[in-house]
Structures are given as C-alpha cells and as structure tokens.
Structure 1
Amino acid sequence: MNPESLYPFLSTEQGETGSVVADVRASTEEKAAEIVALRESLVDLHGERLVRCARQMAACFQGGGRLFGFGNGGSSTDARQIQELHVSPPPRGRPLPAISLPHDVATVTALSNDVSFDVVFARQLAALAVAGDIAVGLSTSGGSENLLRAFEEANRRRMMTVGFTGYDGGRMAQAGTIDHLFIVPSSSVHRIQEAQTTLYHVLWELTQQALRGRL
C-alpha cells in the first residue's frame, strides 16, 4: 500500500500539502531547539543542587531508606519511571528500593472516594514511610494540593524531600517543605516534562556515582 494513501499530508507535491509539511517541519525544528536550549540552561541553574541532592539521596539509601514517588497525570507516569529506574536500573546500576504511589490504584481510588483526592499521597506516606526515606513529587504547575499535603506529611515524618516543578515553582516554591526543589523555567507543559525527565535521570546517575564514592 502506498503510504501517501494513508498519510496524504506527507506528500512532497507542491501546493497546500507541501505548505503543511513545511509548517510541520518548522514547528518540529523550533520545539527541538527550544528543549535543547532549556536542557542546557539547567546545568548552570541546577548543577550544584543536583550534586547536593544526589549525595543526600545516596546517604538515605545507604541507611536503608526507600524512595516514594508521586504526581498526577503525566507526572504520575514520571513517578513510575523513577521507580523503574531505581528498582530495575540499566546495566552496572545498583538496584534501589522505590515505590510509585499513584500506581497503587486500589488505595488511590479508596482514599479519593472515601476521604479526599487531596490526601491520596499524604495518607500513603503516613502508612508506609519512616524517617530517612525519600519523598519525590513531580508537578508542572507546582500547585497540586495533594503534592503539597504529601510534602507536609513527609516533613512530619522527617523524610528527605525532592520536588520537580515548572513555571516559577508555584506553591511548591513557597511551601518551605521541600529540601531540594528543581524548577524548570518554562510555561510550556511539554517542555517542562521533557526537561524534568532529563533532571531526574541525571539525579539518578549522580546518586549512583555517590553510592560508589565517586561524587
């Protein structure tokens, strides 16, 4: 089957379809350049903070601590990716204990139905976490109530707290409950989440280095 019969907008013929392809190409190139520049800016913005955070995370893991990740929507997928990165790392990586709170569907739906969606992560931390564990929350806006309450609970339990957010940091930047806050200075949800992915992968790599005594 000819691909153009399925995707006529990919035609290179002159006219309207050619204009559409040119617009798509220009938009793609612009977005790619935008995320590359944003990721490069994070080195100066967060480089030293990443190293400090990685050293503290390594100390928590060495002391028997576990990581609890949480977020809403696309950020819940990032929380799951953080869990998998730690529990089942690439070759030569050290497996580390991590849990993605949004993916305990029974608990999340029970708390949402019986109490409030605002407490779904805080209640899980209250039940599972102890001092010396690590709370990692992700948000694009920084204003999610259930994340803010989770960080409050993490503080009460003397956990290490790590946050990822966008824009100007939102309420997460004002809360005073997050030990290491990584703000991606962008107003695009897509660019924020792409940059956050880079940040938590770099943080994982640095933590692995710290566990080996190389950081």
Structure 2
Amino acid sequence: MSMLEEPRGGGACGFPSFLYPGQADLGSVLAEARRSTEEKAAEIVRLRWQVAEMAGDELAECAQEMAIRFASGGRLFAFGNGGSSTDAQEVATTFLYPAYGLSLPALSLTGDVAVVTALSNDVGFDVVFARQLAALGRRGDIAVGLSTSGGSFNVLQAFEEASRRGMLTIGLAGDQGGKLAGLGLLDYLFVIPSSSVHRIQEAQTTLYHVLWELTQHALGAVPAPQVHDAG
C-alpha cells in the first residue's frame, strides 16, 4: 500500500497545493492549509467513533481475554512492518511502562536489530517474526500483529506460528482486512474501514491504547474508562 494518500488535486503526487511555493498567494495558502487540517481532523474523529460503534463490545471482550492471560503469567509480543513496526514498539511500551496502572510483560519483535537482521539475512524476512515466536512464545501468551493492508506475509506467518502455540492472536488491519480477514485463525481482528494509511494508523493507535486501558480495568488496576457522547 502506498505511503501517499490518494490525490486530491493541487500538487504533484497527491500533496496539497499549499506545499508548492509560487502557486498561490499567502491568503490562499493559509486557507488551504486550514481546510486540509480541519478535513483530516474531522475524518479521523468520525473514523474513531465508527470503530467504537462497530467493535466496542469485541474490544471489551478481547481485553478480558488479555487480562486472563496476563493474570496467569502470559506475555505480549507485538510485531509489524514500517510504520506498524513503530506502532508495535509503542504497544509493547504502553503495556510494559504505563503512565499508571500495572506494568505488564510485553516485547516488540521489531526492537532487536541484531535478531531482525540475522533472521532476514540467514533465513528470510518472511519468517522474521514467526521464528522469534517459535523461540519465545508459549501457550497463554498474546500475539498482537499490525498491518495497514492486512497482507504482510511475515505477519501472517507469525500468526500461524502463534496459533500453533496456543497464543491469543489479535490482528489490527485496515480497509477490509486484507489476507488477515481470510486467515481463519485469529481470535480477534479489528479492521479500520479506511483506504488511507495515515487514518488507519491514527485509528489503530487509539484502538490499542483503548485495549490497554480496558485490560488494566479488567485486572482491577484502573477505573472503567468514561465514554462521552460524540455530540
């Protein structure tokens, strides 16, 4: 999936026209920048509420299952590619070093460059996450995989390995879920209904922070999150 959003006219490669000097006066540039910012902000707010309406009950159920695993000594392993690699590291950090509540055992499989490059060079990038789960994962652990397209082969391979080991499997994808939607072995799959990589990743960030807070609540560490009317 391209890292550029779909073209909206104006500049080359789909970038807003206000990024190109000399194409408009200052007033027009500022107006376009404001319009673009307001449009994107409104879009992500709508998307977050849409996901909450579609998956709110499932998120609560998933958090309960995660809490059961953590209470029994389970650990969380997160993984993804590119921007989703950064998100995987944030998932692990959020659970392991929370601002409040319980510190829960979590590891990002993208964090150790030596391991990632050794597996990529010696075996193949397709198994860079699966091989780590084969070495570290056990029944009762949690596997959280992120992919904006839902089609990253190494993420699919990792979930297959996690499922074989009896781990709780949680996928985060975009658009219509891609190949993850047809995998048939995930315990939970949360799909962000958007074709924009930017909006998908923004909504996924909200989603995994909500999962963290609901898990903390299920463990009795924090009060239940308050839900406010969108209006």
Q: Under a length normalisation based on structure 1, what TM-score does the superposition of the two structures give?
A: 0.91
Aligned match of 1:140 in 145, 148, 161? 148
- Tell whether 2:163 aligns with 1:155: yes
Mapping 1:26-105, distance limit 5 Å: 26-91=35-100, 93-105=101-113
**Distance (whole Å) between structure 2 residues aligned to residue 43 and residue 145 of structure 1:** 28
Matched to 1:172, the amino acid is L
Whose helix fraction is larger, Structure 1's or Structure 2's?
A: 1
Aligned match of 2:195 in 187, 198, 201? 187
**Distance (whole Å) between structure 1 residues aligned to residue 148 and residue 194 of structure 2:** 9
2:10 maps to what in 1? none
**Distance (whole Å) between structure 2 residues aligned to residue 109 and residue 177 of structure 1:** 28
Matched to 1:123, the amino acid is R
**Distance (whole Å) between structure 2 residues aligned to residue 178 and residue 193 of structure 1:** 20
- Tell whether 2:211 aligns with 1:197: no
Flag structure 1 segments of 5+ consecutive residues without an equivalent: 1-8, 10-14
Q: CA deviation at 1:108?
A: 0.6
- Tell whether 2:26 aligns with 1:17: yes
**SS of alignment partner, residue 102 of structure 1:** coil
Q: CA deviation at 1:182?
A: 0.3
**Distance (whole Å) between structure 2 residues aligned to residue 74 and residue 147 of structure 1:** 14
Q: CA deviation at 1:44?
A: 1.1
Q: CA deviation at 1:42?
A: 1.2
**Distance (whole Å) between structure 1 residues aligned to residue 49 and residue 75 of structure 2:** 30
**Distance (whole Å) between structure 2 residues aligned to residue 19 and residue 170 of structure 1:** 39
Q: CA deviation at 1:17?
A: 1.7
The CA RMSD over aligned residues, in Å, is 1.5
Q: CA deviation at 1:192?
A: 0.2
Greater shift after overlay, 18-27 or 192-201? 18-27
**SS of alignment partner, residue 186 of structure 2:** coil
**Distance (whole Å) between structure 1 residues aligned to residue 147 and residue 217 of structure 2:** 26
Aligned match of 2:136 in 111, 116, 128? 128
2:4 maps to what in 1? none
**Distance (whole Å) between structure 2 residues aligned to residue 183 and residue 42 of structure 1:** 8
Q: CA deviation at 1:153?
A: 0.1
**SS of alignment partner, residue 176 of structure 1:** coil
Aligned match of 1:116 in 97, 101, 124? 124
Matched to 2:143, the amino acid is A
Flag structure 2 segments of 5+ consecutive residues without an equivalent: 1-17, 19-23, 225-231
Task: State the 4+ residue runs in structure 1 displaced beyond 3 angstroms.
Answer: none
**Distance (whole Å) between structure 2 residues aligned to residue 151 and residue 81 of structure 1:** 19
**Distance (whole Å) between structure 2 residues aligned to residue 49 and residue 200 of structure 1:** 13
Q: How many pairs are equivalent?
A: 202
